[in-house]
Amino acid sequence: MRAFLLALALLATPALAQTLPQNPPAAPGAPQTQPSPAQPPPSDSWLSRPSVELAALDKITARVTPLVGKVGQTLAFGTLSIAVRNCIVRGPDQPVDQAVYLDITDSRAGGPGFHGWMLLSSPGLSMFENPVYDIRLIGCRA
């Protein structure tokens, strides 16, 4: 029994030595404010693009309509208003990905809305959930 407890203690020791602090201290002189969600992440790995291409699906008619617009513009599709706040792509030295920040509102009473980032590589990660329409990112354009 004593050998079992000693072995258990020895196995747990490396795990205890590898624990990291939960909140590491910030670097000296680092800004303490959080970026706005509509702003790209604070690194050079994302590059802004001036326009976006979306695919809008009407689930009733099964028709897909391409929507092209500029950042800052509001696009219309059916009862939806789609405000494009930002469109970014990964830098050339990073894995390929694109993201768009959208504010989507439905003019129907009680219609669902969406406010957030949509990723090209993971469309199911943050979806616009609507019984009639579906919006997907096709890409950010220069």
Tokens of residue 138, six digits? 């096709």
Per DSSP, the three-state class of 32 is coil
* Tokens describing residue 139: 């890409």
Helix (H, G, I), strand (E, B) or coil at 70: strand
Query: pLDDT per residue over 87-125, tens digit each?
Result: 999 988 888 899 999 999 998 877 778 999 999 988 888
Question: Do 84 and 72 meet the contact criterion of CB atoms below 8 Å apart?
Answer: yes
- CA pair distance 47, 92, nearest whole angstrom: 9
Domain boundaries, the chain: 1-142
The more confidently predicted of residues 7 and 17 is: 7
pTM of the model: 0.66
Least confident window among 2-16, 17-31, 95-109, 128-142 = 17-31
* Tokens coding 80: 């939806």
Rounded to 5°, the CA angle 102-82-57 comes to: 100
